[in-house]
Structures are given as structure tokens and as C-alpha cells.
């Protein structure tokens, strides 16, 4: 039951992907340990330079001979007016003052052209370094890039939040699709549907997608243990992608303050915000989210807001100040544990056998 | 596997409850047919007078000798200022004009006292007519009413949207708890947590509640077939409560326009609104919801707004005009079918056997 098209395509023992959390969580140790334990470790490379990617890929290859994956953010055209930029800066000014940070220099703000160039270079690294699996968030890459990756036998995974998005991912030629339920932590991956439309719980999302695509469906959002894996399989998924469950593991690079915030949170304490990055994402409510709530609708989009808040998040992190950190979490923080990756995966597998036996 | 504490307590063959949809959906035929097919039919009596309740209970007893249930809305104190009432009326005026409806007479607006009196009388009917099972939405009834119902061996079911609410329901002495995921159609049942906090997907909600209560947990929200039932059981629930799946059945009293709207909808077309009743509820987006969106935060609460829109919904229904009807639906409309209750339940059960065999 745990061996299927998904485990075959990805060449892994168990149908478990460690979600590609960007921003330092997916250390080489975490990724390699997941792959060594029978799952698929994934580098969250969305914010990485091509050089950083190459270094980490090579480091992981020293730590595991098993398959692992890498995740990239598909860029979208964006513009921001001078006015919007200035009011966004003003909104953040009181927080900068609290943290003794200087004014943000506008020259650091990326433009669309940079972002597309970086994406092309990132893809080049994936091909050159022969990463066996590449997953995408925030859209579908251009045809020619998909063709280039496939020519090098790289297995491709898309991220969808609705049936419509999953169907488009299948049409693009990708090999598997992750369906992201409303439960999931971090950024929403919607790219055709609007944000509100994309908030579909996995109990609804999995079977409706499964009925409309023929590539393997991987469930993501709030899944933390063998119960979630078995439920996803009953709903028609072939496996799961888990973020929060790996984030609190010993091997994860998340800041201890972030891990502790999850370990102490309840299911009713996560909220959706675009204050950190300009894209909607789920995290544990804190002072930054509350302070910025009144600007929520007028904030610049991704990646502009993300760049504007970068040094705020960095300063807060180095001061162990959870008030201004992005404490991403899915809706199941009560199920999070401080444990090793090996124990997490072992427990999931033994739980699934127990559940199957009980039936 | 399908026989457990829940089926034992409710004395039913299959762990399937037909959700108590108020407003004419739960005809005697629907309720009796569910109970005759091995599930638990439930009268949605939230808006009924004690007399209407008594009549329907007696009618159902003519149609089935099996157990069935009844659902009541737990009243909450409410007040509305003259100002708020007048602006609410003004907001609805353009719609009234379109439908040729007269001004609303304020004398029809209920007050807190009426609502509590009606609730007491409703409970009296449940006891006098010996309804075997009584479920509650929007809160926990006063201690003395719970005691009275339990003294008559009536099995009690509460509705929770978070762990905290489920724990309080267990403490109150109720026998089972329905956990309502963010996927579910119709009114949100949150009563301790705020609306936003209450939007937790079932993949997260079920296991976290199961870990914190010892009474049987019943999953509700987006469940439409054997896949959803099996997934809920894997997550630790003992059974399911299904609304939308029964709403489109032949025996349901929902208007054909409502049934057709669900049968033609996709998972990304339901929205949350408080425009119809003053309480947040999920339904298919239509003109009324869009027209009222700008007033969403300032509308009077339940049941005031509900009374103000009553004749609008009624007129729209009698004109087959879906623009102004409340088209409640969960997030799985693609899985809805036009079929008999018997076929729906038979298919669920045969699906569960198939899923179990595949494992």
C-alpha cells in the first residue's frame, strides 16, 4: 500500500516528501537525513542564488546516495509604483526603529527581469548538478524549461491548490502534483485561482483533484503522522508532503524560537497574512502580523514586500525576538514534536501498519 | 471497522449521520429514508416552532422504526440598535425593490427573550416525543436542560470547530461531538472561538480533537463518499456527518435550483458570507453575496439579519431565482450526485470495503 507509482517515480521507500521550506530550514543535514530514512528530502531553494544551490546540492550528495529534490519559485511579472513603495516603507518604519534598523535602500528591490534571469540560472544548476527531482511553487515554468529538464530525465512536481491548477500542471507535462490544502503552513501556492478561492481543505481537495488528473497526487497541509498519511491515501493521494512536522525536527535549520512557537501553539492560533512577503502565507499570529493587519490589502506584492521586510526578519531572528519573525506553521501544531527525522518517519510507518491492521 | 462506539450509542448500522440542514431540506422522507438505510436521519429543527417539530417527529415515526435525531440551535443573547437595524434595512432595500417586496416590519424581529423561550419549548417537545437523539449547534445548552434530556436517556451530540470547543462539549456531559471542518457548508458552528480561528481543515482538526477528548468524534465537512468516511476513520473519527451529499438526494427538500447549483459547481466556487443570516456560513457565490459584500462587517448578527432577509430568500425561491437564495454547499460540490439516499449509502459502504481490501 505504501509502494505505488509515486514511490516508484521518485525511487523512495516511503511516500513521504519533506516539504521544501525556504529560508534556511532545509539544511543539508535535514534533506539528507529524510532521504536516508526512506523519504524524499527537498531543498527549499526559492530564495537561493545559483551558487548557494550548487554548494548545497554538492554537500547533500556527500551525505546521501539516495534521491533528493529541490524546489524553485516560478517567477511572475511584477511592478510596483514609487508611491506604493514609499507607503510600504512608511508602514514598516516604526518597526525598523524598534529594531534599530536603517532605512531600506530602494536599490535592493528586485525587478522582474532579475527574477526571471535568476530562475533560468537556477534551472541550469539543477540540470548541471543532475538533481533527480525538481518541484515548483507559484506556477508552471515556461515550456522550453520544462522540456530541458525532462530531456535530462529530471522528475518534475507541480504545486496546485485547486482542480483547475492541478489539471494545468498535468497538461504542462509534469510527472506528479502536490495538492496544497488550506491547512498548510507557509506560502499559498495558488497561481490561477485567487487566494480566497484557493483555501480548500484536504478532505475536499484530494478526491476532487484525484477524479480529474491521472498523474499521482501528493497531499500537503496539516499532515503530521501516520493518521494523516493513511487518510490521504484513502482519499486517493499516493503520498504526502509534510512541512511543519519536519520543521520542528532536530535536524531542521529553523530557529529554536520558531520551533518552540510551533511546539507551544494550538490549532486555532495560526493566521493567514501577506505582511511578510506580499504573498498570502499561514503562520502563528504575532506582533508583526497584528501591527500590519490594517495595511494588509494595500501592501506591495511578492517579492517586493519580502525584500522590504528581509532585514526586519533577520534582525528579529538574531535577537531571538519572535514578535517580528515569520513563524510559518500549518494548522496542526499540537501534533508537532521535537524529535529526529529518523524517529518521525519510523513512527509514521509503524502507525500506518497499526491503522491498517485495525481495519 | 464500521461498527464502533458511535454506531452502538446511536443504534445504527453505519457510522453516517445526515447533517441537520435547517430551512426545509430535511423532509420526513429524507430523514426516514436515511434511518431506514442504516444511517441516522436528523431533523434540522433550528428554525421550527415547537408545533412544527412535534408534527414532523410524529410523521417520521410513521415512516421508520429506526433511530433518528433532531437538531436545535442553542440561543445566545443578542441586541441590535435602532441605527444598525435601519442601515441593515436600507442595504437590503434595492434587493427588495427588485423582488417587489414591501418594507420589512420591525415587529417581526425576534428578541433574546422570545428565542430562549422557544428553545425551552423545543427541548420540551424533544423529551415529550421521546426523540432518541438530540444534537446542538451554536453552543452548549444550560446545565439543567442537559440534565433533563439525559434523565430521559436522550443521547446528546454537540458541535465543535476547535479542540477547545470539543473539550467543553465533553465536559458538559454530551455523549458525542461533531467536529466541523472549514470545508463544511452552511453555518459555522463556532461558539467559543471566533469565526476566523474556527476555520480548521479536517485533516488538522480531527486528530487534534481525538487526542484531547474521550467521547466519540464525528467528522463533518466536505465528506461525500466512502473515501471521506475511511479517511475520517484513519484520522481517528468514529464516523461522519454529511450535509451536501444528502442535500442533492432525490428525497431532500432542497429547492431544485439549489440542488442544480451544487451539481454544477466546482470546489473553488463556495464562499463564506454572513449576509444571509448574520452568522458566517459557506455557500455558492451568487448576486446577493456579491451585492452585500461591502456591508459584510457592519451587518447585524444572527438571528436579526436572518429575519430581515427571510422574505427575500422566500420570494427568490418561489421565483426559481438563484441570485437571492442561500445556496449552502460544502467544498466538495464536484462529488455531489442526483441519486436516492439508499444508493448514496450503499455506495459509501461498498467503497469502504473496496478501500480496505486495497490496503
A290 to chain B, any CB pair closer than 8 A? The answer is no
Domain that holds residue A271: 5-358
First to last CA, chain A: 14
Cis peptide before A303 (omega within 30 of 0): yes
pLDDT in tens, A53-109: 999 999 999 999 999 999 999 999 998 898 999 999 999 999 999 999 998 877 788
Which chain B positions have a beta carbon within 8 Å of A334's beta carbon? 163, 208, 211-212
The predicted structure's pLDDT at residue B137: 98
Question: Rounded to whole angstroms, how far apart are CA atoms B214 and B292?
Answer: 42
Query: Between chains, do B268 and A197 touch, taking CB under 8 Å as contact?
Result: yes
pLDDT in tens, B103-130: 887 778 888 889 999 999 999 999 999 9
Residues A162 and B268 sit within 8 Å (Cβ to Cβ): yes
- Assessment of whether the complete model's pTM goes beyond 0.95: yes
Q: CB-CB: which of A202, A236, A359 is closest to B203?
A: A202
Q: Closest chain A residue to B231 measured between Cα atoms?
A: A231
> What CA–CA distances, in Å, run from B89 to A124, A345, B317?
62, 58, 20
Q: Starting at the edge strand that comes first in sequence, how are the strands of the sheet with A270-273 ordered? A: A186-187, A281-284, A270-273
Cis peptide before A4 (omega within 30 of 0): no
Question: Rounded to whole angstroms, how far apart are CA atoms B68 and B57?
Answer: 9
- Nearest of A352, A279, A289 to residue A323 by alpha carbon: A289
Query: Between chains, do A355 and B234 touch, taking CB under 8 Å as contact?
Result: yes
Question: Rounded to whole angstroms, how far apart are CA atoms B235 and A4?
Answer: 21
Cα B69 to chain centroid, rounded = 13
Q: CB-CB: which of B163, B330, B359 is closest to A266?
A: B163
Q: Residue A107: is it exposed, middle or buried by C-beta count within 10 angstroms (0-12/13-18/19+)?
A: exposed
- Nearest of B166, B73, B175 to residue B132 by alpha carbon: B175
The predicted structure's pLDDT at residue B297: 86
B346: its cell numbers: 450503499
The predicted structure's pLDDT at residue B359: 61
Residue B308 pLDDT more than 80?
yes
pLDDT in tens, A114-140: 999 999 999 999 999 999 999 999 999
Q: Residue B351: is it exposed, middle or buried by C-beta count within 10 angstroms (0-12/13-18/19+)?
A: middle
A297 to chain B, any CB pair closer than 8 A? The answer is no
Grouping H, G, I as helix, E, B as strand and the rest as coil, residue B43 is strand
The pLDDT of B175-199, averaged and rounded, is 97
Q: CB-CB: which of B201, B208, B266 is closest to A182?
A: B201
Q: Is B11 left (phi over 0), alpha (psi -120 to 50) or beta?
A: left
Upper half-sphere CA count for residue A346 (Cβ side, 13 Å) = 7
Q: Return the minimum-mean-pLDDT range out of A122-136, A290-304, B159-173, B323-337.
A: A290-304
Going by pLDDT thresholds of 50, 70 and 90, the confidence category of residue A357 is confident
Residue A237 pLDDT more than 70?
yes
> What is the DSSP annotation of A17-66?
EE---TTTTS-HHHHHHHHHTTSBEEEE-TT--HHHHHHHHHHHHHH-SS
pLDDT in tens, B213-240: 999 999 999 999 999 999 999 999 999 9
A182 to chain B, any CB pair closer than 8 A? The answer is yes
Total domain count, chain A:
1
The pLDDT of B168-177, averaged and rounded, is 98
B181 to chain A, any CB pair closer than 8 A? The answer is yes
Q: What is the CATH number of the domain that holds A24?
A: 3.20.20.70
The predicted structure's pLDDT at residue A111: 86
The predicted structure's pLDDT at residue A359: 61
A40: its cell numbers: 524524499
Amino acid at each position: 500500500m505504501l509502494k505505488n507509482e509515486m514511490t516508484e517515480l521518485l525511487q523512495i521507500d516511503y511516500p513521504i516528501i519533506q516539504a521544501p521550506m525556504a529560508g534556511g530550514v532545509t539544511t543539508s543535514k535535514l534533506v539528507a537525513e529524510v532521504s536516508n530514512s526512506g523519504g524524499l528530502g527537498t531543498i527549499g531553494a526559492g530564495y537561493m542564488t545559483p551558487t548557494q544551490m550548487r554548494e548545497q546540492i554538492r554537500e547533500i550528495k556527500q551525505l546521501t546516495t539516495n534521491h533528493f529534490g529541490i524546489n524553485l519559485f516560478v517567477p511572475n511579472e511584477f511592478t510596483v509604483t514609487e508611491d506604493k513603495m514609499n507607503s510600504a516603507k512608511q508602514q514598516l518604519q516604526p518597526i525598523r526603529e524598534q529594531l534599530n534598523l536603517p532605512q531600506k535602500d530602494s536599490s535592493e528591490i528586485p525587478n522582474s527581469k532579475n527574477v526571471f534571469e535568476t530562475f533560468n540560472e537556477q534551472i541550469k544548476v539543477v540540470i548541471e548538478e543532475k538533481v533527480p527531482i525538481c518541484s515548483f511553487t507559484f506556477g508552471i515554468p515556461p515550456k522550453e524549461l520544462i522540456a530541458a529538464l525532462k530531456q535530462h530525465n529530471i522528475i518534475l512536481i507541480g504545486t496546485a491548490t485547486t482542480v483547475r491548477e492541478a489539471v494545468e500542471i498535468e497538461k504542462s507535462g509534469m510527472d506528479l502534483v502536490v495538492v496544497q490544502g488550506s491547512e498548510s503552513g507557509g506560502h499559498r501556492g495558488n497561481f490561477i485561482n485567487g487566494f480566497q478561492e484557493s483555501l480548500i481543505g484536504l478532505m475536499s481537495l484530494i478526491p476532487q483533484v484525484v477524479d480529474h488528473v491521472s498523474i499521482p497526487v501528493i497531499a500537503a497541509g496539516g499532515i503530521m503522522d501516520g493518521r494523516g498519511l493513511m487518510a490521504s491515501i484513502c482519499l486517493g493521494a499516493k503520498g504526502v508532503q509534510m512541512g511543519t512536522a519536519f520543521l520542528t525536527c532536530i535536524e531542521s535549520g529553523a530557529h529554536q524560537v520558531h520551533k518552540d512557537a510551533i511546539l507551544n501553539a494550538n490549532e486555532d492560533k495560526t493566521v493567514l497574512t501577506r505582511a511578510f512577503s506580499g504573498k498570502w502565507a499561514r503562520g502563528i499570529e504575532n506582533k508583526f502580523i497584528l501591527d500590519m493587519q490594517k495595511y494588509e490589502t494595500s501592501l506591495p506584492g511578492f517579492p517586493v514586500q519580502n525584500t522590504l521586510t528581509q532585514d526586519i526578519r533577520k534582525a528579529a531572528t538574531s535577537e531571538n525576538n519572535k514578535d517580528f519573525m515569520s513563524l510559518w506553521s500549518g494548522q496542526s501544531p499540537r501534533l508537532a514534536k521535537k524529535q529526529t527525522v529518523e524517529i518521525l518517519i519510523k513512527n509514521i510507518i509503524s502507525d500506518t501498519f497499526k491503522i491498517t491492521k485495525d481495519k
